[in-house]
Amino acid sequence: MKRKGLEREKLSEEAADEMAPMLAAALLAGCVSQTTVETRLVQDAQTSDGRRRAEIHTSLASQYYQRGNFVVALEETRLALKDDPRYFQALNVRALIFMELREDDQARQAFEQALALAPNDPDVMNNFGWFLCLRGNEARAMELFGRVQSDTMYTTPEKAFLNAGLCARIKGRNAEAEGFLRRAVVFKPDLAGALYSLAEILFEKGA
């Protein structure tokens, strides 16, 4: 009996030795799974924090841009993109700043990057369209304005009609410009830019 007990004990030890790698693998898998979840949670939190910081920097950049402090505004957009490289609003503001500085290549690059990240954002299309119109690419500008005008969810469609009207007027197409400007005034009757340009067109027509 004692011998049989020793044999059973030996078999149990051998079975335990054989199972040890499998148990270790199972435990390791559990640790990896838990670690993966925890890592994802940390990454999500970091992404959320980065986005919030990017929003703050972009808001500051917009304020400095409006005050004409372009150097500080550019730095704020740089910090925003450092915190969140995919924050297209920062690229949009950055493009506007470069546009004011007549740094056309960098403005175009920032607009293209913003549009790649947010291909249907009406503000990006509006701003990029105006840049393109002023730089001689009227065809693409009008295409972008048209896309914004067809966006029924856009809350300020008068901007797209105003930009299209001004662009057409720059190119000497007053009849087309008048149509766009009248549409802009329908959406916002007190839109000064549209009213002024309409008055000019009507005066030139002798109306």
175 in the same domain as 109: no
Tens of pLDDT, residues 73-129: 999 999 999 999 999 999 999 999 999 999 999 999 999 999 999 999 999 999 999
pLDDT of residue 42: 45
Single-letter residue type at 14 = E
pLDDT of 9 higher than 60: no
| Average of per-residue pLDDT values in the chain | 85
Residue 99 belongs to domain spanning: 23-119
Question: What's the angle, vertex CA 117, arms to CA 47 and CA 65, rounded to 5?
Answer: 85
Among the listed residues 103, 117, 114, the one whose alpha carbon sits nearest the alpha carbon of residue 74: 103
Q: What is the pLDDT of residue 206?
A: 80
The CA distances from residue 10 to 6, 17, 23, in Å, are 6, 11, 19
Domain count, the chain: 2
Task: For 149-183, write each residue's pLDDT tens digit.
Answer: 999 999 999 999 999 999 999 999 999 999 999 99
Last residue of a domain, one of 101, 119, 137: 119
Do 130 and 61 share a structural domain? no
The pLDDT of residue 36 is 53
Quick check: is 6 in a domain?
no
- The CATH number for 38's domain is 1.25.40.10
Separation between Cα atoms, residue 168 and residue 69, nearest integer Å: 31
The reported pTM is 0.76
Q: Are 122 and 146 in contact (CB under 8 A)?
A: no
Structure tokens at 65: 């841009």
Mark whether 112 and 176 lie in a shared domain.
no
Answer with the one of 69, 101, 119 that is the final residue of a domain: 119
pLDDT digits over 27-65, tens only?
A: 555 544 555 544 554 455 556 788 999 999 999 999 999
Task: Specify if 173 maps to a domain.
Answer: yes
pLDDT at residue 2 tops 90: no
The pair of three-digit structure tokens given for residue 53, joined into one six-digit string? 């910081």
Among 97, 119, 141, identify where a domain stops: 119
Look at residue 181 in the predicted model and tell me its pLDDT. Answer: 97
Indicate the helix (H) or strand (E) that contains 148.
Answer: helix 138-149
Asked whether residue 155 falls in the same domain as residue 195, the answer is yes
